[in-house]
Amino acid sequence: MKKIIVIAIAALTLAACSEKKPMFTVKGSVEGAQDSTLCLYNNTLGGAVLLDSVKLGKDGTFCFEAEAPQAPDLYCLNIANQIIYFGIDSTETITINAHYPNMAQRYEVEGSENCQKIRELALKQQQLQQQATALERNLDLSRQQIADSIDRLVYAYKQEVVLNYIYENPGSIYAYFALFQTLGQWNIFDRQVPEDVPVFAAVATSWDTFYPESERAKHLHNTALKGMNDNRRAIAREMSAAEAAEKVVSSGVLELELPDATGRIRTLTELSGKVVLLDFHLFGMKESAARILSLRDLYNKYHNQGFEIYQVSLDENEHFWKQQTDALPWISVYDPSGQAARRYNVQSLPEYFLIDRSNTLYKRSSQMDDAEAEIKMLLANPTASAK
């Protein structure tokens, strides 16, 4: 009987061992973080999922084990929002040695090329963020100069990352990590930007090939498809805009169809019979308050005579735009994509145009020495037209 029991226990033990799931290990130390809680998270598509945590001792050492993923996945170590990202392919063991409180910048990783590459990308992104923040705080630059400078920084960053990381190994977890990096609240790579669509497609194709059943592969596939469809629609819109530009002489004005703060679509052609100031504006620029005051003065003087303002905001933050326009009496619409500005070849802000009562484009700002005098003339002479 004892032998039977021993054999049964051994059989159960063997069965338990055979059912044990494959694990990965992340170990190391965080210097200067005694008594802090170090957390291990899985960065899933649905958000960060806590896998384990430990209170660090004087030497700061730690060792986590967690179930290995079926396909490459993203993880992170976190102490009070100081985050170290890393990728896991299967059952590897990686070592991370960091220094607190700036462990997101001061750490080394061993045991995985993927993790080395993710570290490089994370540090590059942090440097990009610092450069962008410095530009935004530079009071000697206009909003347009700041935006242009940040655009150049992001463009250079994307060129380097695409060449040296993403296209180098599009099926890697570090290529995936690079593709979804952010600058502030904005994605560095955007599926709606035409030149970024092939980058999404390259990574999606590789993941479809090697990890077709993984959630990240499916997410990439859908993202790339949406990007291609958005790009096709954008090309169609551009073609329509070009056709409209060719017809401007006969049709009078390039139509705009944009939403106001209530979501109602407002058009330029609905204002036929009025003299319209078409104004392109950025409420985030430092000259905004003074310009709004001058527009209020014009509106109060001439609105009852048939004058209207159709103001297109190009601000990125919709909530901010709604706050700024809440008390404005004229038509204020929102165009964060900048498509309307491109249609009217707006090169700098603020920019404005006058449209006469027949709904025909009259003049742009550079053609007017005195906008108020031009408005008065158009209001007094309904048959006036552009020379």
User: Is residue 6 over pLDDT 50?
Assistant: no
Write the CA distances from 355 to 21, 146, 259, 338, 352, integer angstroms: 71, 31, 20, 20, 10
More confident residue, 231 or 107: 107
Confidence class for position 195, pLDDT limits 50, 70, 90: confident
pLDDT in tens, 14-47: 444 446 789 999 999 999 999 999 999 999 999 9
Contact criterion met (CB below 8 Å) for 24 and 93: yes
pLDDT in tens, 283-339: 988 889 999 999 999 999 999 999 999 999 998 888 999 999 999 999 999 998 888
Contact criterion met (CB below 8 Å) for 374 and 307: no
**pTM, full prediction:** 0.59
More confident residue, 4 or 159: 159
Residue reference for tokens 């009987």: 1
Classify the C-alpha dihedral 205-117-121-110 as positive or negative: positive
Q: Can you give the pLDDT at residue 38?
A: 97
Contact criterion met (CB below 8 Å) for 269 and 255: yes
Contact criterion met (CB below 8 Å) for 318 and 289: no
Side chain identity at residue 49, one-letter code: V
Contact criterion met (CB below 8 Å) for 24 and 88: yes
Task: Name the average pLDDT for the chain.
Answer: 88
User: Is residue 239 over pLDDT 90?
Assistant: no
